[in-house]
Every structure is written in C-alpha cells, then in structure tokens.
C-alpha cells in the first residue's frame, strides 16, 4: 500500500481542563512520584525523550500502558528502546485491564514486589482548538458509539476527520496509532499521513505529531 503525503497547516491546541489517569490500587508513594514528575516535566518544557528519562529516574517503576497517557508519548516503544541500555532497565511482564499484555520497566533489579496486573482508568475534559474548526465533539461522539479502539479510528477516518496521534490517545484509547493505521492499510484503506504541530497544556510543549486522513482509492 502506497503511503501518500498529507499537507497540514496550522497548529492544534489541546487545552486540558481535567485529566485523571489512575490505577485502582496505586500506592500513595507512586502517585506522589508521578505528580512530581509531571510538575518537573511541565516546568522544564521537557521533550518526549526527556519526559521518559525523568519518569524512569524518579518513579519506582513505570508500565508500558501508562507511559503514553501520563507523559503524552506517541512513540513510547521506540523511546524505551533508545534509552534501555543507557539506564540498564529491568522489566517484568504484566497484564493490563484484565486482557492486555505489557511490561513494567524499572531501574530496580528486584521487581518481585511489583503487581502482576494493573487496572487503569482515564477521565478527561479537553478542549480541542483546530484551525479548520474541528473540535473534540466528533471524536467524543465516535468514542461513545464504538467500543473497539481501532474501529473508532476507522470510523473517524471514514467520516473525513483528520486524526492526530493525540486524538487517538485522548478519545480512542489508542497508544500506538501507527500500528493501527498499518493494519487498516492492510485491510484496503488508503490513508494519507503527515505531521502537524500540536500544543497540549499538560506538558506545556509544542511539537510535531503524526496526523492521518482517509483518501479515495
């Protein structure tokens, strides 16, 4: 499948009024560590790699599931791979929300005290300001109507929406949007891809992220 280039102008602002990402049995110590990490990242306007580094150095352990949501990372696996040897990360296989397999990463050698399963939830209120006038409303509507994350993405693209990696994260629960886009391409969809500037008020940073749009064959 040929990947076409999509030209996107302007910057999309994500003004985050409420953002609560929690784990059902998270210890108070871990919650405090994460609050301090988020504060430090925001105050220093840290980029993606630096946000990951700050978390790994200051939190007892992090999970592959939470990294995209807590740190707004759209390429978490690649970032982990790039820092794994430098920090000598140890890992443990775990289960998320009763069905998804993933990993815990830590600088600690002994991970026996780390739980084998995690139950996460996310509650948000986010204003999406797009030069084209597209708000959060159509994404929220699809999220209510469709349960499966990849099917949400498919419906959004088929409806003509331009979907950024942060749209996928915030409203569709997609942590690795490129992988889902690739699967949709293999199923026959023609999806144009590009990068667009975004700002989010949680990390207080502006950067390029992938954006996708369906095209006629």
Tell me, yes or no, whether 135 and 108 share the same domain.
no
Q: Which two tokens stand for residue 211?
A: 């954006």
pLDDT in tens, 151-163: 999 999 999 999 9
How high is the mean pLDDT of the chain?
A: 92
Residue 195's domain comprises 125-215
The label of the residue with tokens 């006629």 reads 216
39 — pLDDT class (breaks 50, 70, 90): very high
Q: Is residue 159 domain-resident? A: yes
Radius of gyration (C-alpha) of the chain in whole angstroms: 18
Tell me, yes or no, whether 131 and 183 share the same domain.
yes
Tell me, yes or no, whether 113 and 158 share the same domain.
no
How many domains is the chain built from?
2
Q: Is 201 helix (H, G, I), strand (E, B) or coil?
A: coil
CA 172, CA 152: separation in Å to the nearest integer? 6
Among residues 74, 100, 118, the one where a domain terminates is: 118
Q: Is residue 12 domain-resident? A: no
Among residues 102, 118, 134, the one where a domain terminates is: 118
Which pLDDT belongs to residue 85? 83
Tell me, yes or no, whether 158 and 98 share the same domain.
no
Which pLDDT belongs to residue 10? 76
* Mean predicted confidence (pLDDT) in 87-112: 95
Are 4 and 215 in contact by the 8 Å Cβ rule? The answer is yes
Q: Is residue 50 domain-resident? A: yes
pTM (two decimals)? 0.89
């Amino acid at each position: 499948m040929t990947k076409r280039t999509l030209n996107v102008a302007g910057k999309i602002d994500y003004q985050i009024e409420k953002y609560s990402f929690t784990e059902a049995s998270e210890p108070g110590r871990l919650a405090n560590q994460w609050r301090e990490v988020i504060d430090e990242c925001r105050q220093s306007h840290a980029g993606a790699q630096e946000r990951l580094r700050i978390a790994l150095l200051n939190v007892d352990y992090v999970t592959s599931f939470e990294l995209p949501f807590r740190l707004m990372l759209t390429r978490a696996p690649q970032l982990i791979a790039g820092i794994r040897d430098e920090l000598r990360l140890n890992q443990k296989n775990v289960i998320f929300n009763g069905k998804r397999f993933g990993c815990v990463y830590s600088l600690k050698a002994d991970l026996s005290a780390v739980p084998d399963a995690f139950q996460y939830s996310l509650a948000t209120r986010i204003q999406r300001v797009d030069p084209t006038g597209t708000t959060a409303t159509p994404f929220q509507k699809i999220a209510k109507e469709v349960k499966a994350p990849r099917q949400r993405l498919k419906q959004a693209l088929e409806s003509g929406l331009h979907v950024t990696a942060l749209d996928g994260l915030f409203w569709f629960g997609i942590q690795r949007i490129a992988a889902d886009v690739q699967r949709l391409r293999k199923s026959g969809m023609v999806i144009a891809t590009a990068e667009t500037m975004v700002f989010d008020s949680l990390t207080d940073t502006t950067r390029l992220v992938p954006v996708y749009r369906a095209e006629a064959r």
